A = this chain, B = another copy of it.
Amino acid sequence: MGAWISGFTDGEGCFTISVIRNSTTRFGKQIFPEFVITQGAKSLTALEEIKSFFGCGSIVLNKRYDNHNEYLYRYCVRSISELQNKIIPFFDEFPLKTYKHNDFELFKKVVLMMSRKEHLEERGWNKILELASKTNRKKIRS
């Protein structure tokens, strides 16, 4: 199952680092790392197997239709501690083989820094923004 998940993530997975406006935080924005795999409704069981394998995360219905007119589901893990303790060690053990490997390495650095609360200080915050800007599929909503 492990190597299959690694291959499936190389195909359908995404390590995103979003920066979202949030006026309650020190820098007026919030950094938001997320591991996501999206599938159409026909393959929901594959997402359920993955969720069960990792023992964390959630599956969220995305009500947009894709080209095949079916609902989309997103398996996503957002908790820093679950990313740090479950998702990252997994992809260290079963490495990605596509360009997503680079995204993963950047993602890993950001999650590690956040677990050390480095994003609460200006130096760490700027470093994380720099790392996020290098990922292939970052989403900036600011």
Contacts and interface: CB of A to CB of B under 8 A. Distances in A.
| Copies of this chain in its oligomeric complex | 2
A118 interface: no
A31 B58 CA distance: 42
Interface of A: 1-13, 39-40, 42-43, 45-46, 49, 68, 94, 97-100, 136
Nearest to A6: B4
Contact of A7 (B4, B40, B45): B4
Contact of A49 (B1, B8, B43, B97): B97
Contacts of A68: 136
Given A42-B99, A46-B98, A49-B97, 14 more contacts: A3-B7, A4-B4, A4-B6, A4-B7, A5-B7, A6-B7, A7-B9, A8-B8, A11-B12, A39-B98, A40-B99, A42-B136, A43-B98, A43-B100
